[in-house]
Chains A and B, each alone.
Chain A
Amino acid sequence: DGGITQSPKYLFRKEGQNVTLSCEQNLNHDAMYWYRQDPGQGLRLIYYSQIVNDFQKGDIAEGYSVSREKKESFPLTVTSAQKNPTAFYLCASSMWRNNEQFFGPGTRLTVL
């Protein structure tokens, strides 16, 4: 089955540690996105990538980093510089110039 996988589903880290969230898709989509969701709020865009080896900052990129070395993969690193990293993180993908986005199941990160 084609789709987007995110792992792990739950992640716990100590304050001050970097952590990397995985996102993989087998839909052959060109574009991939990372969003952050906080309780009672909509989704906010962290980073997005239209093609391999290229990515752009979204609205809340500070304290995060990404890479896009392969079309299928778009990992997100939450660095120790992110002031309030505890949140639900969602990855999405789409065909470029087809603006329907497909979402993964999400990773809930808790920083202790």
Chain B
Amino acid sequence: GDSVTQMEGPVTLSEEACLTINCTYTATGYPSLFWYVQYPGEGLQLLLKATKADDKGSNKGFEATYRKETTSFHLEKGSVQVSDSAVYFCALSDSTGTYKYIFGTGTRLKVLA
């Protein structure tokens, strides 16, 4: 079945450092791909998405490109802030038409001032 693999955390960075969180997927069809962010004690917020190959999703300085050839959707940001500290989840929508999500295990990011 479809699956999502995310790099394990925690990731600890200094403020203004570059961020990359790796995400790869397996899917039999053509899923949409998502990055969600979760702040402590809260629900998930959609950060960005891409619905087809070579699409680039971007929001709040974060971006990710849907790479079909490498089945990847890595999250990047050029300069992180303390306020970016959170857990980041990569997800894909089920490619069989049910629109269910499959989530990665999440990557905790801690940014130090």
Give chain A's interface residues, CB within 8 Å of chain B: 4, 6, 31, 33, 40-45, 48, 56, 58, 90, 92, 94, 96-97, 99-106, 108
Give chain B's interface residues, CB within 8 Å of chain A: 4, 32, 34, 36, 41-46, 49, 89, 93, 98-101, 103-106
In the assembled complex, the Cα of A29 lies from the Cα of B104 at a distance in Å of: 25
In the assembled complex, the Cα of A92 lies from the Cα of B89 at a distance in Å of: 15
Instruction: Say yes or no: A42-B46 contact (C-beta < 8 A), given A96-B99, A99-B99, A101-B101.
Output: no
In the assembled complex, the Cα of A90 lies from the Cα of B104 at a distance in Å of: 16
In the assembled complex, the Cα of A55 lies from the Cα of B97 at a distance in Å of: 16
In the assembled complex, the Cα of A76 lies from the Cα of B75 at a distance in Å of: 33
Instruction: Classify the interface of chain A: helix, strand, loop or mixed.
Output: strand
Are A94 and B46 within 8 A (Cβ)? no
Q: Which residue of A lies closest to B44 (CB)?
A: A103
Min CB distance, B30 to chain A, in Å? 12
In the assembled complex, the Cα of A40 lies from the Cα of B99 at a distance in Å of: 24
Interface centre among B42, B44, B93 (most CB of A within 10 A): B44
Are A90 and B101 within 8 A (Cβ)? no
In the assembled complex, the Cα of A82 lies from the Cα of B100 at a distance in Å of: 23
In the assembled complex, the Cα of A103 lies from the Cα of B103 at a distance in Å of: 14
Are B100 and A105 within 8 A (Cβ)? no
- The 8 Å CB contact of B43, one of A96, A100, A103, is A103
Are B99 and A42 within 8 A (Cβ)? no
Q: Which residues of B contact A97 (CB under 8 A)?
A: 99
Q: Which residues of B contact A108 (CB under 8 A)?
A: 41
Instruction: Say yes or no: A43-B101 contact (C-beta < 8 A), given A99-B32, A99-B93, A100-B49.
Output: yes
Are B42 and A105 within 8 A (Cβ)? yes
Instruction: Say yes or no: A43-B43 contact (C-beta < 8 A), given A48-B100, A96-B99, A97-B99.
Output: no
Are A103 and B45 within 8 A (Cβ)? yes
Instruction: Say yes or no: A90-B44 contact (C-beta < 8 A), given A41-B105, A42-B89, A42-B104.
Output: yes
Are B46 and A100 within 8 A (Cβ)? yes
